[in-house]
């Protein structure tokens, strides 16, 4: 079992969008997947409730015992955690439970600055696990035909964590699919730009995890 946590202290980073798509993308590749909503706002649970035929299982675990609670769910290939905002006990517990931490960051200096506390906690955990914990940034909600995504990626490297090659763009298909309780994988064609970038994200993370 591999545990992937999607974490960011700042709202609006696209965290839940990425977590739901990452989980669904892994499921469509034949893996057994559970999406864990650890945000007290319950956005992933609300998303799942919209469509009763949604094939992705979602449970809520919004207690700081998350790392211990997940040990009873070891029958899955992947657990994807939609993390809580802020560097709270919940976020720390999610970091302890994880094999990989994905930090989505919008191309904005405010969002870059807001990641510093989370990065510190993640890097401490990496040291404690002798590098067994992997972590990376992904530029999220980038705007087409602008250079700011590239600029933010180079700034993020100063934090000492890698930045994924995949970028998640700002597209209307993401909120449109969410409103239906689905992902772009379920409503768009295989050659759709959103489907291609989310597939690239899934595959890039699997390569980092050596899967």
How confident is the model at residue 151, as a pLDDT?
78
How high is the mean pLDDT of the chain? 92
Report residue 146 CA to chain centroid gap.
Answer: 23
Q: How many domains does the chain have?
A: 1
Q: Is residue 133's pLDDT more than 80?
A: yes
| Proportion of the chain above pLDDT 90, given as a percent | 72
**Which of 109-118, 142-151, 176-185 is least confident?**
142-151
**Which of 29-38, 62-71, 133-142 is least confident?**
62-71
Q: How confident is the model at residue 45 (pLDDT cuts 50, 70, 90)?
A: very high
Q: How far is CA 45 from CA 51, 60, 171, in A?
A: 11, 7, 22
Mean pLDDT score, 46-56: 96
**Which of 40-44, 91-95, 146-150 is least confident?**
146-150
Q: How confident is the model at residue 88 (pLDDT cuts 50, 70, 90)?
A: confident
Mean pLDDT score, 159-174: 95
- State both tokens at 43: 């956005």
Shortest CA distance to 36 belongs to which of 86, 72, 87?
Answer: 72
Q: Which residue has the higher pLDDT, 153 or 29?
A: 29
Shortest CA distance to 110 belongs to which of 37, 4, 8, 17?
Answer: 8
Residue range(s) defining the domain that contains residue 28:
2-208
Mean pLDDT score, 75-104: 90
Q: How confident is the model at residue 11 (pLDDT cuts 50, 70, 90)?
A: confident
Q: Is residue 167's pLDDT more than 70?
A: yes
How confident is the model at residue 87, as a pLDDT?
56
CA separation for the pair 185, 153 (Å, rounded): 26
For the whole prediction, is pTM greater than 0.75? Answer: yes
Report residue 68 CA to chain centroid gap.
Answer: 20
Q: Is residue 149's pLDDT more than 70?
A: no
CATH number at residue 194: 3.40.50.300
Mean pLDDT score, 37-66: 93
């Amino acid at each position: 079992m591999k545990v992937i946590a999607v974490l960011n202290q700042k709202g609006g980073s696209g965290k839940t969008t990425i977590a739901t798509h990452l989980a669904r993308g892994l499921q469509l590749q034949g893996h057994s997947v559970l999406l864990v909503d650890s945000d007290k706002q319950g956005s992933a649970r609300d998303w799942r409730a919209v469509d009763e035929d949604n094939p992705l299982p979602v449970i809520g675990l919004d207690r700081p015992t998350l790392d211990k609670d997940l040990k009873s769910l070891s029958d899955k290939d992947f657990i994807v955690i939609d993390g809580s905002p802020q560097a709270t006990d919940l976020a720390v517990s999610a970091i302890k439970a994880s094999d990989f931490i994905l930090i989505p960051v919008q191309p904005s200096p405010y969002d870059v600055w807001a990641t510093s506390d989370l990065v510190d906690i993640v890097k401490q955990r990496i040291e404690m696990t002798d590098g067994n914990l992997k972590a990376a940034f992904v530029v999220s909600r980038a705007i087409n035909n602008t250079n700011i995504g590239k600029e933010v990626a180079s700034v993020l490297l100063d934090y000492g964590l890698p930045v994924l090659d995949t970028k998640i763009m700002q597209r209307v298909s993401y909120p449109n699919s969410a409103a239906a309780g689905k992902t772009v994988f379920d409503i768009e064609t295989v050659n759709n730009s959103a489907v291609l970038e989310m597939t690239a994200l899934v595959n890039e993370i699997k390569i980092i995890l050596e899967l």
